[in-house]
Chain A
């Protein structure tokens, strides 16, 4: 299952991408799903199993996140819930 992490600005999304790449975390940048309210149009998508590690990395780098959501792929509605 995938999780998405939202940030308040593209600047922080870009920073997140750079930090995760340097830590060899696999990620995709995707448009913000419609169900999610976010300040910015792009979000960071990672496997949910990576979430704990990802949060640790962001904490260590003092990168402030806005929210974390789980994407329910089975029901095609892509229902998101805040973790």
Chain B
């Protein structure tokens, strides 16, 4: 059992008990592959995959669950969308707060397909002005890619507003929802979102190796992976129907079993309640931490406009030093450094040292916050 866990933005811990039970049950009693055979164990595997897809669709407000594609993580979904939409000479608009899961595939298509990247500069607090996105849209813009919340500062991004704008210009928009899925309510139908990538193992509370990509009807991506689907088997061409078009190869059925149980837990608890709990904890944390001497807090100070992610630095101490102290002497786990987001750290002025990132989850308590604040107090006094 981990001590105090504040690294939920990387992967959430602990998981609801039923996640472990579902995965154990799959391995003990099912075991078979999904979508391939009709014997009853295989049927059960297909049922697990289907039920999880329906649950995820319900959670994000998707009307047709076949538009929810299983991936291994948010990164895979982002790659599928970026590689599947952008062609030679296209232009893409993105922000200066993106994770490398967006920036690296973008740099790849920049090098290999001469794609031009237009980066919208965000404020030092990590906030985006939607009008700046508009100003960067050109005739060749074929995609807008944007995070729903920064994994460094926790700042929420105006995705609904930018999505409306994208629709006016008839440009598809890809949302990296890794930091908000399961923590902030999402309704892809109401907001008419085009493509949304998210992981299953962060806010959704499922196991690692799971993720989803939602693709709105009317949007077609060129698949980046081709192969067996269990359907259309007499043909050597990739099927054009979903989810099969984007799910070649054996699925992570045990992971999907766990993800289904996790999403069920969230549907029962209500994402809005998870959000309310994290907002309250963040308020307590901000309240204490922003009054601490030698501590600099990044991002907005208003918990309504941020997720449960907070970046801080301590004057005169390397983030890695603080991380080590917290782990070694207090059994508090959090992530320090650049968080795979050099662009975001450059934007907020913390490159290359990075920050100390505290990321909350639905199982954190006020006690955890007090332990952390006391520990930080002691560390800053000792330094």
B47 within 8 A of A: yes
Residue in chain B with minimal CB distance to A32 = B38
A39 contacts B231, C-beta separation under 8 Å = yes
B38 contacts A11, C-beta separation under 8 Å = no
User: Given that A8-B231, A11-B66, A31-B38 are known contacts, is A42 also in contact with B43, CB under 8 Å in the complex?
Assistant: yes
Q: CA–CA, A64 to B10, complex, Å?
A: 40
B209 within 8 A of A: no
A10 contacts B230, C-beta separation under 8 Å = yes
Distance to closest chain B CB from A53 (angstroms): 23
Q: CA–CA, A12 to B37, complex, Å?
A: 15
Distance to closest chain A CB from B62 (angstroms): 13
Residues of chain B within 8 A (CB-CB) of A10 are 34-35, 46, 50, 230-231
Distance to closest chain B CB from A38 (angstroms): 9
Residue in chain B with minimal CB distance to A29 = B43
Distance to closest chain B CB from A41 (angstroms): 6
Size category of the binding interface on chain B: 20 to 34
What is the predominant secondary structure among interface residues of chain A facing chain B? mixed
Size category of the binding interface on chain A: 10 to 19
Residues of chain A within 8 A (CB-CB) of B49 are 14
Distance to closest chain A CB from B256 (angstroms): 13
Interface string of A12-55 (1 = CB under 8 A from B): 11110110000000000111100000011110000000000000
A80 within 8 A of B: no
Interface string of B234-266 (1 = CB under 8 A from A): 000001011110000000000000000000000
Listed by A's residue number, 22 A-B pairs whose Cβ atoms lie within 8 Å are A9-B66, A9-B243, A10-B34, A10-B46, A10-B231, A11-B50, A11-B66, A11-B243, A12-B66, A13-B46, A17-B47, A18-B50, A18-B54, A29-B38, A30-B38, A32-B38, A39-B231, A39-B239, A40-B232, A41-B37, A41-B230, A42-B46
Residues of A within 8 A of B (CB): 8-15, 17-18, 29-32, 39-42
